[in-house]
C-alpha cells in the first residue's frame, strides 16, 4: 500500500494547496533515474509521517501546468507546502536524512 498521493493538474489545489497538513510535493518523471532513486525514501517518510504530512507526486510529463506554475526546471524537485504556500525547496536526489530534516522544520 502506497502512502504517497499521485496528484495531477486538476487535483493539485485540493490535494496540496487546500491540505490541512504540510505537503511535500515530488516533481518527477518515469524516465528520471534520480527520481526513482529517492522514491523508496519518500515512501518510507510518507508512512512515517502519516497524518502529520502528506507526500504527493506530480509526474511532470502528465501535469505540465503545475510544473510550469512553480517553475520546475530540473527533476527531482521537491517543494514543501504549508498553508498553501511553498516554504522550502529541495532539488536533486538526496539522502533520506536530508529530506527528513526539511520536513521536521515544518512540523
Which sequence spans correspond to the domains of the chain? Answer: 5-106
Question: Is 66 one of the catalytic residues?
Answer: no
Decide: 58 and 70 in contact? Cβ < 8 Å: no
**What distance in Å separates the CA atoms of residue 73 and residue 91, rounded to the nearest whole number?**
10
| CATH domain 5-106 topology | Glutaredoxin (3.40.30)
pLDDT tens across 10-57, in order?
999 999 999 999 999 999 999 999 999 999 999 999 999 999 999 999
Confidence of residue 84 (pLDDT cuts 50, 70, 90): very high
| Confidence category of residue 1, pLDDT binned at 50, 70, 90 | low
Residue 84: active-site member = no
C-alpha separations of 45 from 31, 48, 73, 97, 98 in Å: 22, 5, 24, 10, 12
- Looking at residue 75, what is its pLDDT? 97
Q: Which of 35, 46, 66, 79 is catalytic?
A: 35
Global pTM value: 0.96
What number is the average pLDDT over the span 72-85?
Answer: 97
Of 92, 87, 91, the residue nearest 103 (C-alpha): 87
Amino acid at each position: 500500500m502506497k502512502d504517497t498521493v499521485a496528484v495531477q493538474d486538476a487535483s493539485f489545489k485540493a490535494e496540496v494547496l487546500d491540505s490541512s497538513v504540510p505537503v511535500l510535493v515530488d516533481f518527477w518523471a518515469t524516465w528520471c533515474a534520480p527520481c526513482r532513486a529517492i522514491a523508496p525514501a519518500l515512501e518510507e517518510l510518507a508512512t512515517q509521517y502519516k497524518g502529520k504530512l502528506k507526500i504527493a507526486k506530480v509526474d511532470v510529463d502528465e501535469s505540465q501546468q503545475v510544473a510550469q506554475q512553480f517553475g520546475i526546471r530540473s527533476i527531482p524537485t521537491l517543494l514543501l507546502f504549508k498553508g498553501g504556500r511553498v516554504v522550502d525547496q529541495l532539488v536533486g536526489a538526496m539522502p533520506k536524512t536530508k529530506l527528513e530534516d526539511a520536513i521536521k522544520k515544518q512540523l
